[in-house]
Structure 1
């Protein structure tokens, strides 16, 4: 059967589900070397859509055999203009990850079949493997030590291949890079502003200890970012359960809108501090650091002792209140969102106190 006529030039980026057609899918797949006749598509929404619109795309293939998947996941910008204005840098970061980083990482990630974005980042499309039947982690419920071990081992697959490679310092990212004094100072100012906004929004639902810890931690963001700049790698930036997909004894990492370059253990600390109940974290964090460190060595990292890894882990705990406060302060409020932010702030502030993170930062600066 001959393929039906399809446009040979690049079709416009879909703005909504109704714009996703068999013609569009066939054209973008063909541009990537994946040729098939696609007669029609079914498009259904999945996920929460908080910072983007995610859809499951089910093509109806024409006659003949194909090795292409039965379903894809398509990410488009959110339809909410008030949200879209604040997350275009995230869209740029995610497309950058799949176009410039993905082929160089050993982290388990979905395969990308197509990516495109406008220069201003306002319109984009990512066509990815559908990871079903894998299920998203539950940030509020947390996870057990076994799931956490899968997650931290996978994280080493991101950090290890990019470890201290100066080529990655050229990667265009929004967050300050090692040694960026102006960027660190600017983010420090934003962090203090976010701290005030969080206290105004949900401070009455935080304990006095957590309010004090969060404020103190975010006051130190500037010097924190400028310490230990001799150790860096590509970072996920928001490495937590909501951005992980679990399937039995496997995990895949998604949502790369906060990619950065910095102290790798910030990702590790952020995961354990925000994704584990404090009692579980305290009981298993030493073993998790061991697992992460061993996986780094397996990926070729040298001259990095387990003791240094542990100190970096303690030092990196500020990533928890930093990313959580930025989300709480600048995201559109929802009931679940506020509950999630409060849980993450409570867990990460307690970890900072128990691990003596603020004293480490003050000593380093």
Structure 2
């Protein structure tokens, strides 16, 4: 990569623009008089809506406090995807600049974040959490990993549970639904479902296609349930967006591009259902829902019973097909992406049927 030492803070459009000069410009206070004289930029991950790189730095006069590497996140290199998900980049920017510090969810340290052109241009420089490893969405997770994840999720929801400020939070990708938004989301969900079923074809079972068709019809009513119980949602709280330290000692939550405000258990349902096959889920979900509810109490949420939490968990399962299909319909196609979406939808549809989610939505509507 370039060894140009000239400093600039312009947002890089491509990985070749992540130069020593650019890093020196945006990391000046962190470097404390040292400078970066060369970098190696290597792609990491297989994100469908962004491009992430590990940047290894060589320093002049490096102190032991300076990290040997960073992770830099840029928008998708596909111009069409870049424009479609600009709202997501704005959402991530809002999380790190406005609200992250007010919550108790474990996140990576952000050294620098910036955006321009209404979010189409975006960059974030964050700590490199290696040797932590990304969760495996297709293979699923252990109960130990799941326990860490639900405790971390309570740290997102609990500290500002039902905070009225969320109702005016401008950084959300999908704002809290009113009747008009709910109808629009219903139409969008139908389009995403048709696109998903067409792309996956016969790989989807007839039972799952039927479940998706019925589930989509309930999206507008579902979005309007329990308006008095809300929190900031991650929106896409799943294994691919979690990093686990060796020995499963700690979890870090990443990718804040799908923020919304709504029924908190939607995040919980989405995580548990997409992380386990049907048999494993049914054996662990009771303990995980209880652990989440207990963790909320440690953050001051004392008026939320385990019975209400379990019922919200059942209802929240509609998050699985909604978010999975929206992400799939509006992102670049990859072989792993197809396999991952199929696994998530298969698991989510099984949970919807087994937990009688659609019946419960009808009863509560």
TM-score by structure 1 length?
0.94
Please name the residue that 1:194 is paired with. Answer: 192
2:134–2:242 CA contact under 8 A, matched in 1: yes
CA–CA separation in structure 2 for the residues paired with 1:171 and 1:281: 34
| Greater alpha carbon shift after TM alignment, 129-138 vs 334-343 | 334-343
1:358 aligned to 2:358?
yes
Please name the residue that 2:313 is paired with. Answer: 313
Gaps of 5+ in 2: none
Matching of residues 241-252 of structure 1 within 5 Å: 241-247=239-245, 248=247, 249-252=249-252
Q: In the TM superposition, what is the alpha-carbon distance from 1:35 to its structure 2 partner?
A: 5.1
CA–CA separation in structure 1 for the residues paired with 2:254 and 2:164: 25
Matching of residues 9-158 of structure 1 within 5 Å: 11-30=9-28, 36-63=34-61, 65=63, 67-158=65-156
Matching of residues 195-214 of structure 1 within 5 Å: 195-214=193-212
Q: Residue 120 of structure 1 aligns to a residue in which SS?
A: helix
CA–CA separation in structure 2 for the residues paired with 1:51 and 1:164: 30
* Distance 1:5-1:22 versus aligned 2 partners, 3 A rule: closer
Q: In the TM superposition, what is the alpha-carbon distance from 1:13 to its structure 2 partner?
A: 0.6
Moved over 6 A (4+): none
CA–CA separation in structure 2 for the residues paired with 1:337 and 1:133: 24
Please name the residue that 1:239 is paired with. Answer: 237
Gaps of 5+ in 1: none
* Distance 1:259-1:33 versus aligned 2 partners, 3 A rule: farther
* Distance 1:91-1:34 versus aligned 2 partners, 3 A rule: farther
Q: In the TM superposition, what is the alpha-carbon distance from 1:329 to its structure 2 partner?
A: 2.2
User: What are the superposed Cα offsets for residues 289-324 of structure 1, whole Å, 9 maximum, x if unpaired?
Assistant: 011111110011121111111111111000001011
User: What are the superposed Cα offsets for residues 200-245 of structure 1, whole Å, 9 maximum, x if unpaired?
Assistant: 2224222221111111111111010001111111110000111111
1:29–1:35 CA contact under 8 A, matched in 2: no
Please name the residue that 2:339 is paired with. Answer: 339
Please name the residue that 1:322 is paired with. Answer: 322
CA–CA separation in structure 1 for the residues paired with 2:84 and 2:291: 36
2:48–2:333 CA contact under 8 A, matched in 1: no
* Distance 1:64-1:50 versus aligned 2 partners, 3 A rule: closer
Please name the residue that 1:185 is paired with. Answer: 183
Aligned residues: 359
